[in-house]
Amino acid sequence: MISEFVVEESGQKILIESAQSFRSRFLGLMFRKNLERGFGLLLNPCNSIHMMFMRFAIDVVYLDKNFRIQKLVKNLHPWIGFSMCLKANSTLEIAAGEIDRLGLKVGQLIKQSVN
């Protein structure tokens, strides 16, 4: 399922696909060829990721249960990357460079759009 979310303060929008089953969280972005700008994959629950079987670098946004940003990781490389945040409840994987483009900062809230 894909939903639109808005970044607090900046108003930037992100389309987020939710991965909530064990299988969908385990597979994550593995084996995908790319990740488009403005799109992300939310792994929930999840507070750590690995980059095995990945083909491209990503930015990682760690969120608490209220979708407040707890940690930001830029340009995590395929095959050799690993990252975690013990305070996080979920992990948002976005294309490399998106943290800067969206102006994301620790403490910001990401809210689901109301259409």
Q: Which residue range is the domain that position 8 belongs to?
A: 2-112
Domain total in the chain: 1
Q: In CATH, what number is assigned to the domain containing residue 47?
A: 2.60.120.1140
Q: Under a CB-based contact definition with an 8 Å cutoff, are residues 93 and 46 in contact? A: no
pLDDT at 1: 75
Average pLDDT over residues 33-40: 89
pTM for the full model? 0.91
For tokens 């294309």, name the residue: 95
The first and second tokens of residue 27, run together, are 């597979």
pLDDT at 65: 96
Task: Give the span between the Cα atoms of 25 and 23, in whole angstroms.
Answer: 5
Residue 46: band (very low, low, confident or very high) from pLDDT cuts 50, 70, 90? very high
8 SS3 class: coil
Residue 101 Rama label (left phi>0; alpha psi -120 to 50; beta): alpha
